[in-house]
Amino acid sequence: MLASAPGCTRGADAGDVAAFVRLFDGYSAEYDNVDEPIRLARMSAVVVRGSIDAVRPGPVYPQFPGDPQGARSVVLAVRVRAVLHGTLPDPGHRSVYVQLPAPGGTAAEVFDRHAPKEATVVLYLVPSREGGALVTNPDAGRPAGQRLVEPTTPQGFVVEAPGGVVEPTGHRTFPAAAIDAFVPSAAVFPSPAPAEHHP
């Protein structure tokens, strides 16, 4: 857990960040960590700094025809403050729509309630992969004509927190790190805190 500390540039709320991060418990992905931000940027279509405006229901991915549940997703509407690398999907539109998993089918309203909307986020993004013929509500989560994007890897989604930075879908924390240490122009990514092990 990151303790409150001075130096958080946009007043991120510890409770909101911690609760938001816990919503991704149960999610995991296989990927190769990279040490240098510029390497991750070169794998990405765009890198942005911004803030979360809202979290909306995203497309649902049934596992088989007639699946009553399906794998749910949420979409972060992120207001772009700066483009750090690459080009926005719609250069005339200053928001991006970032699709993320919703482990356990947690409702978008819960994500929205806990989203740290005063915190700065840095996102390394690629276009979202197509969900195939079974996907339902494929246009959910963003205005008509806007494309969904997703983090290049879990390293590509970091959020400012009191006392440091967190990587919500990578389940890592970076105590005392500044959000600007995660931009493409930084020499190397900060080292995360040792993983916590629970009995």
pLDDT recorded at residue 69: 81
Taking alpha carbons only, the member of 174, 56, 189 closest to residue 110 is: 56
pLDDT per residue of the chain (199 residues) written in tens, 0 to 9? 333 333 344 445 555 899 999 999 999 999 999 999 999 999 999 999 999 999 999 999 988 888 878 899 999 999 999 999 999 999 999 999 999 999 999 999 999 999 999 999 999 999 998 666 688 889 999 999 999 999 999 999 999 999 999 999 999 999 999 999 999 999 999 999 997 644 4
User: What residues form DSSP beta bridges with 126?
Assistant: 150
CB 28 within 8 A of CB 64: no
pTM of the model: 0.90
DSSP 65-96: TT-SS-EEEEEEEEEEEEEEEE--SSTT--EE
Residue 6: what pLDDT? 33
Instruction: Note the pLDDT of residue 2.
Output: 38
pLDDT value at residue 175: 97
Q: Please report the domains of the chain, with CATH numbers, ordered by start residue.
A: 34-159 (2.40.50)
Residue 55 CA to residue 89 CA, distance in Å, equals 19
